[in-house]
């Protein structure tokens, strides 16, 4: 592991504990055993640091989810992929990472000049992941966008209310609605 990779891990741990609300490079540097000057050296700016942290966290989460999707014994997935993604994301081990990602995403949306490239890559990466888990007959960019928007909305609702039961029931309802709509389409 390179020094920068170790630093990214330390920064992620710091952000998981402290969030972004009052992020300042000096306290971050002190907490991660480096200096603000070295953070700038490695990441060029606070925005560059956050962009790299976001990308590293998302890459790790996507890899983790891809491993979860690997064929199970018997070759059958026990639940719809979107539900599998939901349960994986809200699990105690993953929820703090997703919560931080949404916090970072909102920061990036508020400052699109600094984060424009990140925002576009992020949208494409998650759309690609969603497209890869949608069954082939339903696989199209508009449907992937709809699934991603439902997931985002429900996750933000979960963050705001803490109500896992209701948000999970809402996802189940969406999955049923999509399944019911497919049954009534003549071209399916």
Q: Is the pLDDT of residue 22 over 80?
A: yes
Is the Cβ–Cβ distance between 48 and 54 less than 8 Å? Answer: no
Higher per-residue confidence, 34 vs 116:
34
- What is the residue extent of each domain of the chain? 73-184
- What the block records as the tokens of 35 is 């200096």
Spell out the residues 6+ positions from residue 5 whose beta carbon is closer than 8 angstroms to its own: none
pLDDT of residue 86: 93
Residue 112 scores a pLDDT above 90: no
Contact between 61 and 39 (Cβ < 8 Å): no
Q: What is the pTM of this model?
A: 0.81
Reference 174, options 187, 160, 155; nearest CA is 155
Cα–Cα dist 110/88, whole Å: 28
For residues 81-87, average pLDDT: 89
121's enclosing H/E stretch is helix 112-133
pLDDT for 173 equals 96
CB 74 within 8 A of CB 169: no
Contacts of 107 (CB under 8 A, 6+ apart): 20, 50, 115
- Nearest to residue 132, comparing CAs of 89, 183, 82? 82
Q: Which two tokens stand for residue 136?
A: 């082939």
What is the per-residue pLDDT for 184? 45
CA distances from 148 to 19, 98, 99, 126, 128 (A): 24, 14, 16, 8, 10
Q: Which residue has the higher pLDDT, 166 or 125?
A: 166
According to the model, what pLDDT value does residue 186 have? 40
| Band of residue 185 on the pLDDT scale cut at 50, 70, 90 | very low
């Amino acid at each position: 592991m390179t020094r920068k990779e170790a630093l990214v891990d330390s920064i992620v741990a710091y952000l998981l504990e402290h969030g972004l609300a009052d992020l300042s490079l000096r306290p971050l540097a002190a907490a991660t055993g480096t200096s603000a000057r070295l953070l700038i050296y490695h990441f060029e700016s606070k925005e560059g640091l956050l962009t790299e942290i976001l990308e590293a966290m998302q890459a790790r989460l996507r890899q983790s989810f891809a491993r979860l999707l690997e064929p199970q014994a018997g070759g059958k997935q026990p639940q719809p992929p979107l539900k599998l993604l939901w349960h994986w994301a809200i699990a105690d081990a993953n929820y703090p990472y997703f919560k931080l990602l949404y916090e970072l995403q909102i920061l990036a949306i508020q400052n699109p000049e600094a984060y424009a490239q990140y925002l576009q890559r992020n949208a494409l990466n998650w759309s690609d992941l969603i497209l890869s888990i949608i069954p082939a007959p339903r696989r199209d960019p508009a449907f992937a966008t709809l699934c991603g928007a439902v997931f985002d909305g429900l996750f933000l609702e979960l963050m705001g209310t803490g109500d896992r039961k209701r948000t999970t029931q809402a996802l189940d309802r969406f999955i049923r609605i999509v399944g019911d709509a497919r049954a009534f389409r003549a071209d399916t």
